[in-house]
Amino acid sequence: MKRRIIYIVLSFILLISLAGCMSDENDKNSETKPIITTTLFPQYDFTNIIVGDKFEVVLLLPPGVEAHSYELSPKDMKTLLSSDIFIYTGEAMEPWVSNILETLEKEDIYVLDLSENIKLESFNYPSHDDLDHEDSQYDPHYWTDPMNAKIMVDEILKAVVSIDKNNEEYYNQNANKLKDDLDRLDEDIKRVVNNSESNTIISGGHFALGYFANRYGLEYISPYEGFSPNAEPSAQAIAKIMKIVKETGAKAIFYEELIDPKIAKTISEQTGIEMLELNAAHNVSKEQLETGIHYVDIMYKNLDNLKKGLGYHE
Ligand SMILES: [Zn+2]
């Protein structure tokens, strides 16, 4: 009996000292901000721009990690459960979300599926029957179309305002400024495409800019089918691309971000054409994250590369 009392007293002391530590932590952060957790870089970036310093915005993907191979870790699940809002791309990009939706709803977390108001297309799946999810027949990269990005901004704005109505005006202003930037980007892309010799993007990687190409009337060729980062293209597919490069006099071979561009490198070495990055902005490197790069910056860098690769004339 005595021992038990001692145990209880000790536990109590431990609890008090723990609580002490915790309040110290809180003091350091002055006030605890509500958390918005996002899956991919585009929604992380848009959310950050809209909320300014009023929320803490978390990107689940560690910097530099290839998005399609991401798996939810217990640590990330903990982060998710402490969030006020969870923003994801959709079933095709993050099939794991369906397994935790019920749990998130029970915790009263505002769950936003950004694909809900987007017209999804099935680019890049010409002959795949081996798909696990029916929904994954959709090309998940809709954010590469800046006009879809504007729809995402509106959806994020709605979610944020529903949690913090007091700062609605501030969020509206930030969102409007971002949408103006996206409109300007759209105009600039149109101008470049309309004043270029070629309208065909020759890619040595998984081609994730189907929505982008579709909006601006660009054609694209890739040796890959689908988006699995582990799938290898066939030798015939690579040979076919080399033939097209020679026949069309293409100026550049494009490669994707954050993956070893070995196919583009082979094609570049064998044909002598330049290698240029076409970044689909799934995720960014640690360096880019630290310098505060934005989706719009990535798209302008792509536009510079497209100017070179497609033969742009002022
Ligand atoms: Zn992708």
pLDDT tens digits for 157-212?
999 999 999 999 999 999 999 999 999 999 999 999 999 999 999 999 888 999 99
pLDDT over threshold 90, residue 135 = no
Structural domains in the chain, sorted by start: 35-184 (3.40.50.1980), 186-310 (3.40.50.1980)
Q: What is the pLDDT of residue 231?
A: 75
Residue 247 alpha carbon to ligand 1 centre in Å: 29
Instruction: Name the more confident of 205 and 137.
Output: 205
Mean pLDDT, residues 15-36 taken together: 60
d(CA 295, CA 292): 10
Q: Strand order in 56-59's β-sheet?
A: 56-59, 35-38, 85-88, 110-113
Residue 280 alpha carbon to ligand 1 centre in Å: 7
With bands split at pLDDT 50, 70 and 90, how would you rate the model's confidence at 132? very low
Of 51-55, 57-61, 119-123, 163-167, minimum mean pLDDT range: 119-123
Instruction: Name the more confident of 127 and 188.
Output: 188
For the chain, the average pLDDT equals 88
For the chain, what is the largest distance between any 2 Cα atoms, rounded to a whole number of angstroms?
91
Of 82-86, 107-111, 259-263, minimum mean pLDDT range: 259-263
d(CA 50, CA 37): 14
Q: What is the pLDDT of residue 232?
A: 83
Instruction: Name the more confident of 34 and 19.
Output: 34
Q: What is the pLDDT of residue 10?
A: 54
Burial letters 49-64, b for 16+ CB under 10 A, else e: bbbeebbbbbbbbeee
Q: What is the pLDDT of residue 227?
A: 72
Burial letters 211-235, b for 16+ CB under 10 A, else e: bbbebbebebbbbbbbbeeeeebee
pTM: 0.86
Residue 196 alpha carbon to ligand 1 centre in Å: 26
pLDDT over threshold 90, residue 254 = yes
Q: Which residues contact 5 (CB under 8 A, 6 or more apart)?
A: none
Residue 237 alpha carbon to ligand 1 centre in Å: 20
Contact 199, 311 (CB under 8 A): no
Residue 2 alpha carbon to ligand 1 centre in Å: 63
Mean pLDDT, residues 90-118 taken together: 95
Residue 3 alpha carbon to ligand 1 centre in Å: 60
Count of positions (residues) in the chain: 314
Helix, strand, coil content of the chain in percent (nearest 5): 55, 10, 35
Residue 282 alpha carbon to ligand 1 centre in Å: 7
Q: What is the pLDDT of residue 274?
A: 96
Q: Which residues contact 2 (CB under 8 A, 6 or more apart)?
A: none
Contact 87, 38 (CB under 8 A): yes
Instruction: Name the more confident of 307 and 260.
Output: 307
Contact 103, 241 (CB under 8 A): no
* Residue of 160, 75, 148, 145 whose CA lies nearest to 116: 148
Residue 310 alpha carbon to ligand 1 centre in Å: 23
d(CA 43, CA 269): 36
Q: Where are the beta strands (DSSP E) in 19-158?
A: 35-38, 56-59, 85-88, 110-113
pLDDT over threshold 80, residue 280 = yes
* Residue of 136, 97, 135 whose CA lies nearest to 113: 97
* Residue of 68, 107, 113 whose CA lies nearest to 88: 113
Q: What is the pLDDT of residue 120?
A: 95
